[in-house]
Amino acid sequence: MVKVAVVTGSNKGIGFGIVKELLKRFDGVVYLTSRDDGRGKAAVAKLNELGLKPEYHQLDVTDRDSVVRFRDHIKEKYGGIDILINNAGVGNSIDFYPPYEECKTIIDINYFSIFTIQELLFPLVKDNGRILNMSSACGHLSNIRNKDWIERLLKKDLTVEDINEFVNWFLEGVKNETFKYDDIADEGKGAAYRVSKVALSALTMLQQKELESKNIAINSMHPGLVQTDLMLGLGFYDIDQAAQTPIYLVLDAPDSLKGAFVWHDRKVVDWYDYKGDYYFKTNYFIKNCAQKSE
């Protein structure tokens, strides 16, 4: 049976780099997917110029009908998925403190869309398969400063409802203009992105429990500060370098690595270490990237 790897949001950036590396190393079919057909097919053409042959399918993770169409396509053509990398996501605009509608869009794409993927695509992942949720340094618990939410997210019996309430607490606060930005690290810069990725990282650990019976490994990771549109072209790594740890996690990591939060250097980080120095620091990033570009 043909093996299948799927990378969401892979017409550019890290996702594109992951597809390129999978095509070189994975013994099977690799799907490049994108929300926009034109951009997706243009990305396929770039890979074809390198002698690489991905398969392509339109996939908008926020559109249930789109996910259903993709699911049905995979079921009919290949029957299942061996590797699923949930890479699709968006960041803040130039504004570190965007209005409610932008915050909601960030949350919907980066977090709530994963429930559609979980419902429709996770069942296609074969026994012993691997899933990777692309998180961020912004997805570590140390990004949260609100003591009540730190305590709740630390619960051993954390539930999906807890995580959803955390996300909705943030959204309601922004909508009602009651949100206190000192409840988030780094003066609350990029709070929506941080909340979305903290929620995704927490959810990954719950998903691992549900997938254990099929011996599927699911992890989340911080890919590093990469030169992508999300980072406005700034960063310490290009997309080919950034693809190496995701590839390791889905192809080479030991079967025992499950439900973990992994740093870009393959180090497993304690996600619960809310006092740790893992949160994203905007000023440090801008200063160091500026020095590097000089």
Q: Which residues are catalytic?
A: 193
Query: Apex CA 79: angle with CA 75 and CA 84, to 5°?
Result: 85
DSSP, collapsed to helix, strand or coil, labels residue 157 as: coil
Of 102, 71, 80, 78, residue with least CA distance to 8: 71
The torsion region of residue 179 among left (phi > 0), alpha (psi -120 to 50) and beta comes to: beta
Task: Give Cα separations from 137 to 73, 197, 243, 277, 282 (angstroms).
Answer: 34, 8, 16, 10, 11
What's CA 89's distance to the chain center, in Å?
Answer: 7
Q: Which residues pair with 4 in a beta bridge?
A: 29
Q: Burial of 272 by CB count in 10 Å (0-12 exposed, 13-18 middle, 19+ buried)?
A: middle
Helix (H, G, I), strand (E, B) or coil at 115: helix
CB 110 within 8 A of CB 89: yes
Distance CA 127, CA 212 (A): 10
Q: Find residue 84's DSSP bridge partners.
A: 6, 131
Q: Are strands 81-86 and 4-7 parallel, antiparallel or unpaired?
A: parallel
Q: How many CA atoms lie within 13 A of 105 on its CB side?
A: 9
- Give dist(CA 213, CA 128) in Å, integer: 10
Q: How large is the C-alpha radius of gyration of the chain?
A: 18
